[in-house]
């Protein structure tokens, strides 16, 4: 079986399962998010070790999962900030006893950054899924999750298709040589179309989202930009670590972070746009 066949086979199995978790929400979705954060943290620290550096993996992973719990409970922002401060203090305190003076800065920085990059940013998917507002048995959180996933993956597909056929001008040849400006244009078109199509489908058959098409189009553009940045950032990390994939958990796709590199950025952007602008 070729890699392309593996990708389609994996998608055919995983996507229906994910849609069920998206629809169920609650503890089911929270549990899925925590598993994703756990695997993402392990893969991030794997990249750190591939680079020949160290991180406090257990402490960092525990705090990343803790952030997911705090986001699920919708605690005050102060408690989230306190958790991050406590993490830094505990990491520094532990460094006093590991006899690794030359690695103090890198170990501390990489441990905390891993918690922010994977734990904090990805935990926003819990906030987005738990968005208040219902219509019958369907809630707005389900719509927003499907919206951000649709924009993210359709923009990726658009960038791949357009870039493969017409891509000539490279965006970041030293980091991700296959990405082109023509592909980026395809990503924007597919992403905005995906946003509008998702709203139309939900408004017609599932629930009335009550978010204007204008905001959907703006979200489409913003999330495409965020997705491209997330993709290139992950490629930058892997090139620095000297590895091709962050892991091997997804057949034909590499690691979980290889598939969610864009989601890490698009979910927070979507959440804060909705909170600060669309539903302000």
Cβ atoms of 38 and 61 within 8 Å: the answer is yes
Examine the domain organization and report whether 158 and 279 are in the same domain. yes
Last-in-domain residue among 129, 161, 185: 129
Report angle CA 226, 258, 22 to the nearest 5 degrees. Answer: 75
- Containing structural domain, residue 50: 26-129
| pLDDT band for position 3 (cuts 50, 70, 90) | low
Examine the domain organization and report whether 153 and 278 are in the same domain. yes
Examine the domain organization and report whether 90 and 211 are in the same domain. no
Is 236 a domain residue? yes
Last-in-domain residue among 129, 149, 183: 129
Is 80 a domain residue? yes
Domain count, the chain: 2
Is 6 a domain residue? no
Beta strands in 113-218 (DSSP E): 134-135, 138-139, 170-172, 176-180
Q: CB neighbours (10 Å) of residue 83?
A: 18
Q: How does pLDDT run across 205-262, given as a tens digit for each residue?
A: 888 888 899 999 999 999 999 999 999 999 899 988 888 877 767 655 677 888 888 8
- 238 Cβ partners below 8 Å, 6+ apart? 47, 244, 245, 246
198 vs 179, higher pLDDT: 198
Q: How does pLDDT run across 159-172, given as a tens digit for each residue?
A: 888 888 787 778 77
Half-sphere exposure of 1 (CA within 13 A, CB side): 10
Rg (CA), the chain: 19
pTM, two decimal places: 0.90
Q: How does pLDDT run across 23-66, given as a tens digit for each residue?
A: 888 899 999 999 999 999 999 999 999 999 999 999 999 999 99
Examine the domain organization and report whether 78 and 143 are in the same domain. no
């Amino acid at each position: 079986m070729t890699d392309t066949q593996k990708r389609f086979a994996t998608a055919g199995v995983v996507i229906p399962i994910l849609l069920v978790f998206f629809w169920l929400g609650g503890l089911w979705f929270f549990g899925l998010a925590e598993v994703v954060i756990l695997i993402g943290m392990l893969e991030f620290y794997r990249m750190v070790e591939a680079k020949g550096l160290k991180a406090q993996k257990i402490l960092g992973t525990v705090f990343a999962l803790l952030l997911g719990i705090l986001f699920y409970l919708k605690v005050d922002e102060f408690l989230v900030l306190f958790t991050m401060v406590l993490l830094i203090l505990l990491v520094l305190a532990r460094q006093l006893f590991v006899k690794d003076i030359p690695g103090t800065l890198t170990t501390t920085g990489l441990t905390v950054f891993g918690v922010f990059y994977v734990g904090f940013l990805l935990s926003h998917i819990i906030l987005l899924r738990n968005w208040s507002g219902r219509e019958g048995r369907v809630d707005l959180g389900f719509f927003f999750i499907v919206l951000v996933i649709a924009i993210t993956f359709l923009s990726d597909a658009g960038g791949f298709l357009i870039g493969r056929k017409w891509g000539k001008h490279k965006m970041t040849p030293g980091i991700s040589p296959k990405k082109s400006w023509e592909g980026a244009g395809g990503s924007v078109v597919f992403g905005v179309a995906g946003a509008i199509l998702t709203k139309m489908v939900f408004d017609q058959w599932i629930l009335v989202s009550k978010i204007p098409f204008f905001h959907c189009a703006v979200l489409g553009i913003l999330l495409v930009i965020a997705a491209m940045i997330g993709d290139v950032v992950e490629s930058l990390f892997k090139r620095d670590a000297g590895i091709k994939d962050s892991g091997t958990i997804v057949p034909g796709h590499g690691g979980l972070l290889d598939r969610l590199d864009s989601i890490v950025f698009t979910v927070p952007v979507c959440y804060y746009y909705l909170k600060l602008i669309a539903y302000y």
